[in-house]
Amino acid sequence: MLLRFSGIFTLIFFTLFSANIFANPAGNSDDNKEFDVNEMIMHHIKDAHEFHIMDIDGHAVSFPLPIILWTDNGLVTFLSSKFNHDDSGKVVVDINGQFFVKYHEKIFYADNANGDKYISYDEAGNVANKKPLDLSITKMVFSMFLSMLLLVMIFVATAKTYSKSRKGEPTGLGKFTEPLILFIKDEVALPMIGEKHYQRYMPFLLTLFFFIWINNVMGLIPFFPFSANLSGNIAFTFVLAAITFIITTVVANKDYWKHIFWMPGIPVPMKLFLAPIEFLGIFIKPISLMIRLFANISAGHIIILSLISLIFIFKSIWLAPASLFFSVFISLIEVLVVAIQAYIFTMLSALYIGSAIEEHEH
C-alpha cells in the first residue's frame, strides 16, 4: 500500500511540476516564444543567484540569496531580488553609485547606466563588460552549506546514540548509519588500503561518501526548493578529486614512485616506455574521478527533464502518461545511481590511496 501511495504521489508531483515550470521554463512571460528545450534544461541544472521555485501568472516566485561582490570601491552586498528575477542584463542595480547587471547568471558592471545599453560585446561576440569579483552565496553554495550542516548533525546524532546506549549498541539514527559505516570499513577501506593503515583514512572516506551521497540525494529532484545539481557541477567534483589527488601524492611511499618512474622487474627499454604512461596516470586518475561523478549525475537530471519536455515539444497531452511514466522510472533508477556514484568515488579514492602506501617485497 505504501508503494502504491508513493507512486501516485510521485505522478502527481511530476504533473504539478510540468504544469508550473515547463510552461514558463526560464521565467520568461512571453507566451508566444517557442519552447526552447536547451534553455529550460540548462536553466534548471546550472548554478544561479536564487532558487527559482515556480511561475504564477507570468511572475517568478523565488527565494533570493545574498550577492557578495568585491568591487573597485570595496565590498558590496545586496539580495539577488534587486535584479527582479532578470537574467538578461536589462535590470540595473544601483549600489552606492555603482551599477550592476546580471546576464546569464554572471554579474557585470553596467556599461551605460543612464541609457538603455547595459551589456556590450566585442568583435567575437563575447561580453565586454568588466566583472567584479563574485563571492556570492549561489544556490549550489547554499546547498553545499546545507549538506555540510546535515552531515554534522547526522554524525553527532549517531555518536550520541552510542553514548546513551547501555549495551554499546546503536539506537535511533545509529541503526541506519552503522551498516553504512561498517560497509565503508569492511568493503572499501580494509580491502583497498589494508588492515595496517585503513583506520587513518576512515574519517576521510566516511566524510567523502556521506558528503557526496547527501548532495546527490538533495539534488535528486531538480525542482525541489533548496536543492541544487551540486554533484553535476564540475567545479565541485574537481575539488573532491583534487583532495584525493593531494592525499595520494603526499602519503605515497618510495615504492609507489619507483613503480611509476622505474618499474622493477622489466627490461630497461620497457621501463623507458612505461614511465611517461605511468606518470600521466597520476593525473588521469583524479580526472576520471571528476568526470565520472559530474557526467553521471548531470545525465540523470538531463534525461528526466528531456522526457518531460517531450510533452511540450510535440504539444500533445496524449504523450503525457508515457512521458511521466518513463520520468518516474528514471527517477527510481537515479535513487540507486546517487548511492552507487558515492560508493564508486569513495572506493576509487581508497584504491588510489592504498596503491600509494602499499609496501612491496622485492
The residue extents of the domains of the chain are 66-136, 140-357
pLDDT of residue 17: 45
Residue 5, pLDDT above cutoff 60: no
What residues have CB less than 8 Å from 168, skipping those under 6 apart?
162
Positive or negative CA dihedral for 40, 303, 1, 213?
negative
pLDDT in tens, 339-350: 999 999 999 999
Instruction: State the pLDDT at residue 184.
Output: 94
Q: At 60, is the pLDDT very low, low, confident or very high (cuts 50, 70, 90)?
A: confident
Query: Of 96, 72, 92, which Cα lies nearest the Cα of 84?
Result: 92
Tell me the DSSP string of 227-271.
----TT-HHHHHHHHHHHHHHHHHH--HHHHHHHHS-TTS-HHHH
CB 213 within 8 A of CB 151: no
Residue pair 201/350 in contact (Cβ under 8 Å)? The answer is yes
Q: What is the pLDDT of residue 323?
A: 84
Q: How confident is the model at residue 1 (pLDDT cuts 50, 70, 90)?
A: very low
Please compute the mean of the pLDDT values over residues 131-142 and round it to a whole number. 91
For cell 551498516, what's the residue?
A: 179
Residue 182: what pLDDT?
92
**Contact between residue 151 and residue 159 where contact means Cβ atoms under 8 Å apart:** no
Mean pLDDT, to the nearest integer, of 105-133? 81
pLDDT digits (tens, 9 = 90+) for 138-154: 989 998 998 999 999 99
Percent of the chain beyond pLDDT 70? 85
Q: What nine digits make up the cell of 76?
A: 558590496
Length of the chain: 362
Q: What's the rounded Cα separation, in Å, for the pair 39 and 20?
A: 16
Res 361: pLDDT:
63
**Lowest mean pLDDT segment, chosen from 77-86, 133-142, 296-305, 353-362:** 353-362
- The pLDDT score that the predictor gives to residue 120 is 83
Q: Is the pLDDT of residue 4 over 60?
A: no
Convert the pLDDT of each residue in 143-192 to its tens digit. Answer: 899 899 999 999 888 888 877 776 667 778 888 888 999 999 999 999 99
Q: What is the pLDDT of residue 9?
A: 42
pLDDT in tens, 281-324: 899 999 999 999 999 988 888 888 888 888 888 887 788 888 88
196-252 confidence digits (pLDDT tens): 889 999 999 999 999 999 999 888 765 555 678 888 889 999 999 999 999 999 998
